[in-house]
Amino acid sequence: MGGNGGEGVPLRLGLIVNPIAGMGGRVGLKGTDGPDAVDRARALGAVPVSGERAAIALATLRDAAPTGIEVVTVPGELGEFIARRAGYEPVVIGENYRPTGSSTDTIELARLMRDEGVALLLFAGGDGTARNVYEAVGMDLPALGIPTGVKMHSSVFATNPRSAGELAAHFLRSPNSVCREAEVMDIDEDAFREGRVSARLFGYLRVPFQRNLVQGLKSGSAGNEQGALNGIAAAIAEHMKDDSLWILGPGTTTRHIANALGLPKTLLGVDLYHHRKLVAPDANEREILRQLGDDPARLVVTPIGGQGYLFGRGNQQLSPAVIRRVGIENIIVVATPVKLAGLSGGALLVDTGDPELDDELRGYIRVVVNQRQESMQRIA
């Protein structure tokens, strides 16, 4: 059960922000687990995005539930600054704790939150952060993720920061709110950078449940989809003869297109092709923008299975600047019918980091599902 605060007794919400989560995305790294990766991300020009997104979630929470909620958090950029930016006067705990800048911080601070008796723990990060929260509190405490990481295979995250705020408010205020057990998954980041996905289930967190506001478990490829994949590959390959720069996003569906033309493809990266030749493998945002120049371009992307994210999950290299430069009308979405049928919310999702661009992308878009077969899908 969720909120149970009596008259006048404020409900306590715990907040932890993993400040480095998500830094790897736009510079083409596959996550920031481990200190080396953080340094590499900074060297490539990455800036922190986690705090900003957490602040959006808290501001939404404050709008949805202006009174009766007390935010309990930890000092500095791990939570306190964010809460204040959203207009809260937080209760700050763990002032004697010395942050190490590693995953230990999340684990230790989450335990402190639990001991403080918070009703819900809101955390900002990615799969690594979710694993740490799980390690600390297991199923003792309801928790909800604000999605700010690069990898978000776990289904413990709200679909975007705004939804996280809404869902938290709904959970705390409603006497009948319920939790579901949501998967905490993570993949080996080193293997991910080398192009192999090995997702592992680490456990379950209790997550407030509300349909469409929580990200579904990222599903693997199902059944015999070979026919549809071949059809999609044939449909796209036919057009790749033209003079455009072709940008293929990550995923097995897009890899199938490249392979049909005998071209290499980085499974989890963005690859650029021109006149049916690979011109830039595993390109980061800067490289993509450089290659784009003023030539016409086409961008081929496939949603993440289960969740339905088109932008903002696992392909942050396709930044708002890249998408705008390519032009929305030049985006080609591909997905097999099985993948579309398995979208938990029934819609595609976008979270580019630029709310205006997200709005422009919303509405109906054609999805290539086989050769000479398309489907109209809503981007929500």
Partner 1 sequence: MTRLRNFHAAQWDEPLILDMGTPGERGYIPPAVEPEIQNAAGPAESLIPAAMRRQTPPCLPEISQPGVLRHYLRLSQMTMGCHITPDASLGTCTMKYSPQINEHLARSPEMSDLHPLQDDDTTQGMLEIIYGLEQMLCEISGMSAFTFQPAGGSQAIFANACIIRAYHEERGEGELRDEIISTAFSHPIDCAAPAVAGYKVITLLPGPNGYPELDALKAAVSPRTAGLMMTNPEDTGIFNPHVEEFTRIVHEAGGLCAYDQANANGILGITRARENGFDLCQFNLHKTFSVPHGSTGGSCGAGGCTEELAKYLPVPMVAFDGERYYWDYDRPDSIGKIRSFHGNPQAVLRSYAWILAHGSEGLRQVAETAVLNNNYLQSLLQDIPGVSIKYDVPGHRLQEVRYSWESLFAETGVSSEDVRRRMVDFGLQGYFTSHHPMLIPEPFTLEPSESWSRSDLEEYGTVLSHIDAEARAEPALVQNAPYQASMTRIHEEALDLPDQRAMTWRGWKRKYGVAARAGANPRA
- The Cα–Cα gap between 54 and 47 comes to 15
* 327 makes contact with partner 1 (CB under 8 A): no
Which 8-state DSSP code applies to residue 348? Answer: B
- Applying CB under 8 A, does 364 fall inside the site for partner 1? yes
> What are the Cα distances from residue 157, in Å, to 126, 307, 358?
8, 10, 19
Residue 178 found at the interface with partner 1 (CB under 8 A)? no
Binding segment toward partner 1, per CB under 8 A, in 122-130, 292-300, 318-326, 366-374: 366-374
Please state the closest distance from residue 224 (CB atom) to partner 1, in A.
8
- Written as one string, the DSSP assignment of 97-160 is ----SSHHHHHHHHHHHHHHT-SEEEEEE-HHHHHHHHHHHTTSSBEEEEE-SS---STTBBSS
Cβ distance to partner 1 smaller for residue 277 or 372: 372
* By the rule CB under 8 A, 376 interacts with partner 1: yes
Q: How far is the CB of 175 from partner 1 (least distance, A)?
A: 23
Query: Is the CB of residue 292 less than 8 Å from the CB of residue 280?
Result: no
Q: Any contact of residue 32 with partner 1 (CB under 8 A)? A: no
Instruction: Quote the least distance from Cβ 355 to partner 1, whole Å.
Output: 21
The structure tokens listed for 229 are 């994949």
Q: CB under 8 A: which stretch of 71-79, 267-275, 316-324, 371-379 binds partner 1?
A: 371-379
Q: Which residues inside 51-80 make contact with partner 1, applying CB under 8 A?
A: none
How far is residue 82's CA from residue 38's CA, in Å, rounded to a whole number? 21
What is the nearest approach in angstroms of partner 1 to the Cβ of residue 47?
36
Task: Answer yes or no whether residue 363 interacts with partner 1 by CB under 8 A.
Answer: yes
Strands 120-125 vs 11-17: parallel, antiparallel or unpaired: parallel
Give the number of residues written for the chain.
380
Pairing outcome for strands 349-350 and 297-301: unpaired
Beta carbon of residue 260, minimum distance to partner 1 (angstroms, whole number)? 19
Number of residues that bind partner 1 (CB under 8 A): 17
Residue 215 DSSP one-character state: P
226 contacts partner 1 (rule: CB under 8 A): no
C-alpha to C-alpha distance for 243 and 166, rounded to whole angstroms: 46
Minimum distance of partner 1 from residue 222's CB (angstroms): 12
Give the contacts of 138 (CB within 8 A, at least 6 positions apart). 203, 205
195 binds partner 1 (CB under 8 A): no
**CB of 68 or CB of 337, closer to partner 1:** 337
Do 182 and 211 touch, CB atoms closer than 8 A? no
Q: Is 366 in the site for partner 1 (CB under 8 A)?
A: yes
Q: How far is the CB of 373 from partner 1 (least distance, A)?
A: 5
By CB under 8 A, is residue 341 in contact with partner 1? Answer: yes
Tell me how far, at minimum, the Cβ of 363 lies from partner 1, in Å: 7
Strands (E) across 18-96 are located at: 69-73, 91-92
Which stretch, 15-23, 42-50, 144-152, 364-372, contacts partner 1 (CB under 8 A)?
Answer: 364-372
- In the bound state with partner 1, the residue whose beta carbon lies nearer, of 187 and 369, is 369
d(CA 184, CA 144): 11
CA–CA dist 6, 42 (Å, integer): 47
For residue 140, which of 159, 171, 116 has the smallest C-alpha distance? 116
| Segment near partner 1 (CB under 8 A); pick from 15-23, 59-67, 352-360, 368-376 | 368-376
Binding of residue 276 to partner 1 (CB under 8 A): no
The span from the CA of 244 to the CA of 327, in Å, is 13
User: Which one, 111 or 362, has the nearer CB to partner 1?
Assistant: 362
Is residue 373 a contact point for partner 1 (CB under 8 A)?
A: yes
Give the residue with the Cβ less far from partner 1, 5 or 337.
337
Q: What is the rounded CA–CA span in Å between residue 79 and residue 258?
A: 44
Residue of 239, 346, 356, 359 interacting with partner 1 (CB under 8 A): 346
Q: How far is the CB of 209 from partner 1 (least distance, A)?
A: 14
Residues that bind partner 1 (CB under 8 A): 337-338, 340-341, 346, 363-366, 369, 372-378
